[in-house]
Chain A
Amino acid sequence: MPTPADPPTPESVPVPERLPAVGHRLDLLDESGRPVTVIRLKDGTIELHVEGTTTVLDATSARSLGMLASGHFLVRPELLARADAVLGGLELDWVTVPAGGPAVGRSIAELEFRKRTGVTIVAILRGSVPVVDPDPHQRLEAGDELVVACRAEERAALERFLAGTG
Chain B
Amino acid sequence: MGEDLVVLGVAFLLSGLLARAGARVGLPTIPLFVLAGIVVGPHTPGIVLFEHPEELELLAAFGLIFLLFYLGVEFSVEDLTSGGKRLLSSAGLYLGLNLGGGLLLGFAIGWGTSEALVIAGATGISSSAIVTKLLVELHRLANPETRLILGIIVIEDLFLALYLAALAPVLGKADSFGEGALLFVRALAFLLVLAAIARWGGPVIGRVVTAKSDELLVVLFVGFAFLVAGVAYQLGVSDAIGAFMAGLVLAGTAVAHRIERQVRPLRDAFAALFFFTFGLTIDVGRVGDVVVPVVAAIAVTLVLALAAAIGAARINGLGRLAAANIATSVAARGEFALILVTLAADAGLDSRLGPFVAVYVLVLAVVSPVLAHRSTAVAALLPARLFPVAPEAGPGVTPPPAPTG
- CB within 8 Å of B: which residues of A? 14-15, 17-22, 25, 27-29, 35, 37, 39, 41-42, 47, 49, 51-54, 56, 88-89, 118, 151-153
Contact = CB atoms under 8 A, between A and B. Distances in A.
B150 A21 contact: yes
Given A35-B399, A37-B142, A153-B254, A17 B132 contact: no
B154 A49 contact: no
B400 A35 contact: yes
A36 to B, nearest CB: 8
B348 interface: no
Contacts of A152: 257-258
B141 A153 contact: no
Contacts of B154: 20-21
Given A21-B128, A39-B142, A49 B150 contact: no
Contact of A18 (B79, B136, B146, B261): B79
A40 B361 CA distance: 30
B151 interface: yes
Given A15-B404, A27-B401, A35-B399, A21 B74 contact: yes
B204 interface: no
Given A39-B142, A49-B139, A54-B396, 14 more contacts: A14-B404, A15-B404, A20-B76, A21-B128, A21-B154, A22-B136, A25-B141, A29-B401, A39-B141, A47-B139, A52-B395, A151-B212, A152-B258, A153-B255
Interface string B373-405: 000000000000000000000111111111010
Contact of A22 (B132, B254, B260): B132
Contacts of A42: 260
Contacts of B396: 49, 52-54
Contact of B401 (A14, A54, A153): A14
B375 to A, nearest CB: 15
A89 B258 contact: yes
Contacts of A153: 254-255, 257-258
